[in-house]
Amino acid sequence: MKTLYFKTLHPSPIGFPDPAKDRIRMIAVHTTDTIILKGDEKQMISKFVEIFKNFDPDRIIGFRQDSDDFPYLIERAKKYGLLVNIGRKGEKIKQTGKYFRGIILKRALIPGRENIDLFSIAWRDFPSLPTKEIDELAEAIGIEGFKVVPDFKLHRMNDERLEKYLREYIETLLKIAEELIPFQESLSEITDIPIEDQTRMTIGEIVDTIITREMKKRGINSIRIGGRGKYEGGYVYLKAPGVYEKVVYLDFQSMYPNIIRIWNISPETVDSGSGEIVEIEGVKHTVIKDKKGVIPSLIENFLNRRMELRKILMERYDKKIDAEQKALKVLANAMYGYMGWNSATYYNRNAAELIAALARHYIKSVKNIIEKHKGEVIYIDTDGVQFINGDVDVILDAINSAYPLNIKIERIAERAVFWAKKKYAHLENDTVSAVGIEYIRRDYPPIMKEAQKLAVKHLLMNEKDKAKAIREDFRSRIKNRDFEIEDIAIVEQLTKKPEEYEKPTKASVAASILAKNYQINIHRGMYLKVVIVKGSGGPTYRARPMELASIEELDIEYYLKMYDDLMKRTFEPFHTSIKKVWF
């Protein structure tokens, strides 16, 4: 497909561009190579439209073009009496949107062309990213070297520096697309949902589309079984906080689709008439066994196809084949959550409850098998079981012989640290994989997250002196204000209008300043980078937008306390003396 990539830059002195007063400084367009448009704004916009129409792309790829680039281009074009009518036959761009996981996810519909906004993919498929910005997305998939510059700092750059930054942005955009688009194409091919639509849908909505299609073939229009009451979910277990060596991590993800397939659990088979009674873990429901359900049938097709693809991949690597098998895995694993999703067309709370109960039963059975074969279980959650000791191959064979669950080794960590349930880190081949730790959350400043990330790695590598040196070095940097303002900012999301909050939050206080003093358009779902300045009152009342504060104004004592508390928690398990702690 002929693909056009682009990005506009329209920096603002206060970091919140307004098309009514802030001009477009540059536009980058990539077709066969990258062209940077700069100079007179009217000529820039006209040239962009000319390049676009001459190239006549089938597909447009950008990052936040739906919420940022296209709306800004359209508004600035109006100033000069220009039109950004870039549909295949010269049609206007239609701007629309939907409420999606806390924000209004905007969409630009361009007739006759596919428009793929990588931000919508980041929002859906990478929920742990703090702000879902392009540099976070790049780092998450192994692309390093690019760092987003805050808008108010872009405003201060000269044209040479700005052009260099814009070229790096487009280069990063191309690399991300190369990694992510094959998976999205596979997801669309499997589901028969156009890529432009499915990238703006939740996985639940995608699964709902597939299941609805198959259910209607059987003449079933919708299902609502079991009400909305809560039910017991997965089994979570932690033996004790601490550091352990040679931790085997068995992946449970494939267990859920296999439970559904083996037990024939589907919205139309559980508590929907006569069936066999299944009673497990205090849960009792009936399941129709003599006719295969829609979801078990879909899962079986997905798993069989995935097995075929994985055999091919063992002989030769192919990016498209790998993308397809990953898409099949995602769809198969999403089937369990679908049945308990209140918005599902074929909702069956009882089916979801039964799957969770069966999973708890199997997980506890797996724990017993591991312990029977002299393994010591350290941690269990819905994703997997982690243990030390015992013969790994013997244990794995025993589990899969006893239960047809297809449980596999996810990794064997050289060392692992556990702080609490759902908060741990693994070291494997000099790489740290972390769950629930502060440095993968948005409510800590980047400088502290960087310190923690480095410290954890060195602690897991048994380099205690290096970890301590990092701890002291970063503390000294904070104390001496040796950082950029964005390095100390905390990301806060505005979940409603500032005046709607019963109690002030850091986000609402910062947003109120922007709205009242600078007439910035504030909206629900907006992310703000907030700092705490010196003054009277609690930290919430001293919150300021990062763009409007100086490093000299910051309450450094507030940040030092936050840092000390964070590092104390980080180091704590490494001082605990329990079995298998390695120092």
Domain residue ranges in the chain: 3-200, 205-434, 437-481+563-575, 485-553
Q: Give tens-digit pLDDT for 186-216.
A: 999 999 999 999 999 999 999 999 999 999 9
Secondary structure of residue 478 in the 3-state scheme: helix
Give 388-403 as a DSSP string.
ESS-HHHHHHHHHHHS
The answer to whether residues 406 and 366 touch, using CB atoms and an 8 Å cutoff, is no
Please classify residue 77 by burial: count the beta carbons closer than 10 Å to its beta carbon, then call 0-12 exposed, 13-18 middle and 19+ buried. Answer: buried
Give the pair of three-digit tokens for residue 81: 């009496």
Question: How far is 385 from 381, CA to CA, in rounded Å?
Answer: 7
20-40 burial by CB neighbour count: b if 16+ within 10 A, else e?
Answer: eebebbbbbbbbeebebbbee
Assess if CATH 3.40.309.10 describes domain 205-434. Answer: no
Residue with tokens 């209008």: 497
Q: Give tens-digit pLDDT for 149-193.
A: 999 999 999 999 999 999 999 999 999 999 999 999 999 999 999
**CATH class as words, domain 485-553:** mainly alpha
Handedness of CA 439, 444, 449, 452 (dihedral sign): negative
Three-class secondary structure assignment of 5-64: EEEEECCCCCCCCCCCCCCCCEEEEECCCEEEEECCHHHHHHHHHHHHHHHCCCEEEECC
Position 526 scores a pLDDT of 84
Global pTM reads 0.90
Position 576 scores a pLDDT of 63
Q: Give tens-digit pLDDT for 476-505.
A: 999 999 999 999 999 998 888 888 888 999
Closest CA to 253 of 382, 419, 96: 382
Stretch 446-470: mean pLDDT: 96
Give the pair of three-digit tokens for residue 247: 């931790």
Position 521 scores a pLDDT of 85
Please classify residue 349 by burial: count the beta carbons closer than 10 Å to its beta carbon, then call 0-12 exposed, 13-18 middle and 19+ buried. Answer: buried
DSSP 173: H
Position 578 scores a pLDDT of 43
Give the pair of three-digit tokens for residue 420: 């609490």
Secondary structure of residue 213 in the 3-state scheme: helix
Q: From the CB of residue 83, how many other CB atoms can be counted at a distance below 10 Å?
A: 13
Residue 214 sits at φ, ψ, to 5 deg, of: -75, -35
Question: How far is 243 from 432, CA to CA, in rounded Å?
Answer: 14
**CATH class as words, domain 3-200:** alpha beta
